[in-house]
């Protein structure tokens, strides 16, 4: 049975006892006095954005994920590069991959019109990720607020920190552990692949060069899926966009059903079926009425607190793509 919002709030309160001083300054009511309409404005903007382009729900959630794994949840992923430094969005894992930058600017503009210089871009990413998930059919969660925006963004750090779709299970566990997330968090958050899109590039190794053998297809991939992917992704095609599961605009349990049926898209997806404990959890999460939605909500709350800037740290950007 899915947990209620009240029960999720209890989970959040329990987690508070474990957070550092900076994280403890986050609060669901942070903008109660300074911008009381902030959450309403963001929700209305997300509703409008997804009404025009429902394909963006997964992309909007993914921005928050890619932000938090590099320097923490500080909106550094939104900064545009200057002539001297490649920034996070220029890193190979983000190039031609992340979407929704213009839409985040749209949300920021609406907030600036109502409450100039108050709501951080880092908080916008956290709220938008929640609202996009809910709009796509997922469960809500209380968003902790009060983050401030970072002023440093480096492509090299993104390349080193972001989990690659080519990682095996052990590498995934290590990657998530580096930011304070455990193996269960990793498996649950992998469920974000239940909606959204990707490019052919990260799949080609499984289709045409498995284990470095030219022409070999990953034998662990369902043969029907492999045949369909080869039609969509011919050799050397790194740009064609493909869906991440069979219901790409809906946040549901389809991803885990596909994992246990050998239909995971990436190496990192298939990795969940290579360990009995990981596969057992994926199997439980795939079941109708499972706790996946509630588990995902709790994991997103946990992820959203990674190395946050609060108090006088960082800044509140006037425009999300540039430092003040």
Name the architecture of domain 169-297. Orthogonal Bundle (1.10)
Q: In the chain, where are the structural domains located?
A: 5-162, 169-297
Give residue 310's region: left, alpha or beta (phi > 0; psi -120 to 50): beta
**194 labelled as ligand-binding?**
yes
Separation CA 237–CA 198 (nearest Å):
12
Flag whether 76 is marked binding. Answer: yes
pLDDT of residue 85: 79
- Structure confidence at residue 24 (pLDDT): 55
| Whole-structure pTM value | 0.91
User: Annotation-wise, does 54 bind a ligand?
Assistant: no
Tell me whether residue 245 is annotated as binding.
yes
User: Which fold would CATH assign to domain 5-162?
Assistant: Peroxidase; domain 1 (1.10.520)
Q: Which pLDDT score is estimated for 17?
A: 37
Return per-residue pLDDT of the chain as tens, 324 residues. Answer: 344 444 444 444 444 333 444 455 899 999 999 999 999 999 999 999 999 999 999 999 999 999 999 999 999 999 997 767 799 999 999 988 899 999 999 999 999 999 999 999 999 999 999 999 999 999 999 999 999 999 999 999 999 999 999 999 999 999 999 999 999 999 999 999 999 899 999 999 999 999 999 999 999 999 999 999 999 999 999 999 999 888 889 999 999 999 999 999 999 999 999 999 999 999 999 999 999 999 999 999 999 999 999 999 999 999 999 999
- Report DSSP letters for 77-94, one per residue: GGPPP-SS---GGGSTTT
What pLDDT is attached to residue 61?
Answer: 97
66 has catalytic annotation: yes
Q: What is residue 16's predicted lDDT score, i.e. its pLDDT?
A: 38
- Of 88, 115, 137, 110, give the one whose Cα is nearest residue 42: 110
CA atoms of 144 and 167, how far apart (whole Å):
30
Q: Is 165 annotated as a binding residue?
A: no
What integer pLDDT is reported at residue 137 of this predicted model?
96
246's CB contacts (< 8 A; 6+ apart) are: 254, 258
Q: What is the pLDDT of residue 84?
A: 73
Residue 7, pLDDT score = 46
Farthest-apart Cα atoms in the chain, separation: 61
Which position among 66, 108, 148, 253 bears the catalytic label?
Answer: 66
Enumerate residues 6+ apart whose C-beta is below 8 A from 134. Answer: 140
């Amino acid at each position: 049975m899915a947990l209620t919002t009240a029960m999720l709030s209890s989970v959040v309160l329990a987690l508070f006892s474990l957070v550092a001083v900076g994280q403890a300054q986050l609060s669901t009511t942070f903008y109660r006095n300074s911008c009381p309409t902030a959450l309403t404005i963001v929700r209305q903007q997300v509703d409008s954005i997804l009404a025009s382009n429902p394909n963006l729900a997964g992309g909007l959630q993914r921005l928050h994920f890619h932000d938090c794994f590099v320097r923490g949840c500080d909106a550094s992923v939104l900064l545009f590069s200057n002539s001297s430094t490649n920034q996070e969005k220029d890193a190979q894992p983000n190039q031609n991959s992340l979407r929704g930058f213009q839409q985040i600017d749209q949300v920021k503009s609406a907030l600036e019109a109502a409450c100039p210089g108050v709501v951080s871009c880092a908080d916008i990413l956290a709220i938008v990720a929640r609202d996009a998930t809910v709009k796509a059919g997922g469960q809500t969660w209380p968003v902790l607020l009060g983050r401030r925006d970072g002023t440093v963004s480096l492509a090299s750090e993104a390349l080193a920190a972001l989990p690659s779709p080519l990682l095996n299970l052990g590498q995934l566990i290590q990657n998530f552990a580096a930011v304070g997330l455990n193996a269960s968090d990793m498996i649950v958050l992998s469920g974000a692949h239940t909606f959204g899109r990707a490019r052919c590039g990260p799949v080609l190794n499984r289709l045409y060069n498995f284990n470095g053998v030219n022409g070999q297809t990953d034998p662990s991939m369902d043969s029907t899926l492999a045949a369909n992917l080869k039609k969509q992704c011919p050799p050397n095609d790194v740009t064609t966009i493909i869906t991440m599961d069979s219901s790409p605009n809906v946040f549901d349990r389809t991803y885990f059903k596909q994992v246990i049926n050998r239909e995971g898209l990436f190496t990192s997806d298939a990795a969940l079926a290579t360990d009995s404990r990981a596969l057992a959890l994926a199997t439980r999460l795939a079941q109708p009425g499972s706790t996946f939605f509630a588990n995902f909500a709790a994991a997103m709350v946990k992820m959203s607190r990674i190395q946050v800037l609060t108090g006088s740290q960082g800044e509140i950007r006037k425009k999300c793509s540039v430092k003040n």
